[in-house]
Amino acid sequence: MAVCFSSPVKPTTYFTIRTQPKPKNPIFRCQCSVTTITTTEPQPIYTSVRSFAPATVANLGPGFDFLGCAVDGIGDYVSLRLDPAVHPGEISITDIDGPSKLSKNPLWNCAGIAAIAAMKMLGVRSVGLSLSLEKGLPLGSGLGSSAASAAAACVAVNEMFGGKLKADELVLAGLESEAKVSGYHADNIAPAIMGGFVLIRSYDPLELMRLEFPINKELFFVLVSPEFEAPTKKMRAALPAEVGMPHHVWNCSQAGALVASVLQGDLVGLGKALSSDKIVEPKRAPLIPGMEAVKKAAIEAGAFGCTISGAGPTAVAIVEDEERGRMIGEKMAEAFWREGNLKAAVAVKRLDRVGARLISSIPR
Amino acid sequence: MAVCFSSPVKPTTYFTIRTQPKPKNPIFRCQCSVTTITTTEPQPIYTSVRSFAPATVANLGPGFDFLGCAVDGIGDYVSLRLDPAVHPGEISITDIDGPSKLSKNPLWNCAGIAAIAAMKMLGVRSVGLSLSLEKGLPLGSGLGSSAASAAAACVAVNEMFGGKLKADELVLAGLESEAKVSGYHADNIAPAIMGGFVLIRSYDPLELMRLEFPINKELFFVLVSPEFEAPTKKMRAALPAEVGMPHHVWNCSQAGALVASVLQGDLVGLGKALSSDKIVEPKRAPLIPGMEAVKKAAIEAGAFGCTISGAGPTAVAIVEDEERGRMIGEKMAEAFWREGNLKAAVAVKRLDRVGARLISSIPR
């Protein structure tokens, strides 16, 4: 099914998205609106591209709603090709390898919405595109499944037309999708696109800080996903409307310690901060059977720290060694089974430092 | 007046203050109690010492109650000498060059309380000491006046006996004083002793993170102190008991950005974070006549950011250049006069990277 998107009659000649010259400490700022940013319509440089976007862990304990990071080796794939059968300026989703409940209507599909937003920003009007999506991530797992689809899609569109959109502009395109699916939050989509750790500093204008985890240090995530549905809406409803001042100060200080630990590559400090949330995790963990025991098991088995990934139900622990991570993951899965009566899948994955990327392409 | 302090009958042989081997990323941890930590009583290595401790700026906007930094060039001085006229194991305050309302009773004087705590931790029982205090900081200015006296005093005692106490132990000694004067908060005493920026991660055990501002970057503080009393108690009473979740998330993200900006030496980011508090400053600023106009004047004149120093009434702005800082300070003082009808003193000072230190000594 091809669905038109409303491209502007003529491209604007000004940049509504203000990008800064690349700073030493990468900070990305742009105004919050998806409008065409190119002065002339870009031409496709490939006949087809294939992209990958990684899973993401948002919140990270005291980083609730403003911090996330990318996890390598699991994520979603998008293949995109020029398709003369699709009306120029339009996009069609031809295949989805994943849950059957995902819509092929691009206006109701994360990949579709983000691809349309990217096409709109680029001002693509003369070619039609076919998109196929391979879901590597389960839905509603707390691993940024929707963000991975959106990130892979908008990066695929951007690469197809010569990569004219910058990281922050791609995040804005992905946010169009996130806003429709799970709320206007960039803590999954930003790291899915940019890789590493990203702090969302503000939304208006969108301002993102990439926090560099030292390149010479290893960081692994133990991801333990139980067979349990933790709908984001229900998990949001569990949050307190107000926070007592002592807990506010505590979580703020832990957020500061978390950021410092990331920048310094301090795994002990990072783990401690990850485990330290006194506001969100205490409300959400009881809604995921076994979660409290899983966290305890992770720490007892030697993880530096453990918390809920995103809105759950996945539990995330951090370690510096893959094999140790597997052992810890088994202990966590055992705890999910023992205390929550839930089967759980274990994955141990490195920090992804790259973000969404082109993985293959066929030139025109 | 000599006042005895209760030294233990015999020194304990164990360390209740657990110090870690010096880590690459300086984190200081110790248990929260002031007890003797030395196995044998240390002997004085000087007949007299003179120490200095800098002013400090606590809170730093979203760093409320857990972040502070030291400011070079203004602070308090303590002179300490072996005094056979003072009963062994006791301390006497002989002179105070400063406000007449300061007590010479060591149990009611910041310097005295901290000196006694340091003597207790060292297990000093065989010599008596005389202390004189020179206040370089006004009381109740929001510049860590009590912490500077306490820091100078406990560092003087420590140096007198060979410097056996570590930074975190000295902070613990200083906290004894802060607890009696302004509450059990380490966000002034920790940077006064350690210098630079210090994040208070936890109190039980006391855990401090030194945040290194890059050595090759300059950072100046414009300190504008109006003739106005802003009692800490009244300023504490102005705080909300609860914080709405959106403001909590906002301030947490700004706290993270503040920490990242310090570590990256990003003055623009640091200033923006400093100015961004939506919780404490909006409640306190209206209690200091002219403060809102002063902040506006600072930003308009080119400061990277501006907020209230500690509990006020001093306004602090940050700049990278001393001369520009003076110009901005004048604009801020004008605003205090124009909008608050308050005279104000301006000082432009560098970040202090050293903390409390010995400045002269006479060997035995």
pLDDT tens, residue by residue, B222-255 = 999 999 987 777 888 999 999 999 999 999 999 9
Residues with Cβ within 8 Å of residue B237, at least 6 apart in sequence: none
Q: What is the mean pLDDT of chain B?
A: 90
Q: What is the mean pLDDT of chain A?
A: 90
Chain A nearest-CA distance from B260, in A, is 6
Q: Helix H segments across chain B?
A: 110-122, 145-160, 167-181, 189-194, 232-237, 245-264, 267-274, 281-284, 291-300, 322-340
Element (H, E) at A265: none
Chain B nearest-CA distance from A266, in A, is 7
Q: Tell which residue, A124, A50, A129, A42, has the closest CA to residue A91.
A: A129
Calculate mean pLDDT across residues B295-310: 98
Q: Taking a contact as any Cβ pair under 8 Å apart, which residues of chain B between 244 and 263 contact chain A?
A: 244-245, 248-249, 251-260, 263
Which amino acid is present at A104? K
CB proximity A100 to B under 8 Å:
no
- Render pLDDT for A307-334 as a digit per residue (tens, 0 to 9): 999 999 999 999 999 999 999 999 999 9
Which amino acid is present at B12? T
β-strand partners of A224: A315, A346
For chain B, give every residue range classified as CATH 3.30.230.10. 2-212+352-363
Answer yes or no: do B243 and A242 touch at CB < 8 A.
yes
Q: What gap in Å lies between CA B71 and CA A186, rounded to an integer?
A: 37
- Render pLDDT for B308-344 as a digit per residue (tens, 0 to 9): 999 999 999 999 999 999 999 999 999 999 999 999 9
B2-212+352-363 under CATH 3.30.230.10, yes or no: yes
For chain B, give every residue range classified as CATH 3.30.70.890. 220-350
Residue range A220-350, CATH number: 3.30.70.890
Chain B nearest-CA distance from A244, in A, is 4
- Render pLDDT for B47-65 as a digit per residue (tens, 0 to 9): 999 999 999 999 999 999 9
Size of interface A-B (CB pairs under 8 A): 120
Whether the per-residue pLDDT at A8 is higher than 80: the answer is no
Q: Which of B65, B199, B254 sits opposite A260 (nearest CB)?
A: B199
pLDDT at site A234: 85
Q: How confident is the model at residue B25 (pLDDT cuts 50, 70, 90)?
A: low
Q: Taking a contact as any Cβ pair under 8 Å apart, which residues of chain B between 270 and 289 contact chain A?
A: 279
Q: Which of B209, B255, B266 sits opposite A255 (nearest CB)?
A: B255
Q: How many helices (H) and strands (E) would you count in chain A?
A: 10, 14
pTM: 0.90
Q: What gap in Å lies between CA A211 and CA A219, rounded to an integer?
A: 14
Q: Which of A240, A243, A260 sits opposite B263 (nearest CB)?
A: A260
Answer yes or no: do B199 and A64 touch at CB < 8 A.
no
Calculate mean pLDDT across residues A243-253: 97
**SS3 call for B284:** helix
Whether the per-residue pLDDT at A126 is higher than 90: the answer is yes
CB proximity A22 to B under 8 Å:
no
Q: Which CATH class is domain A2-212+353-363?
A: alpha beta
CB of B301 closer than 8 Å to CB of B280? no
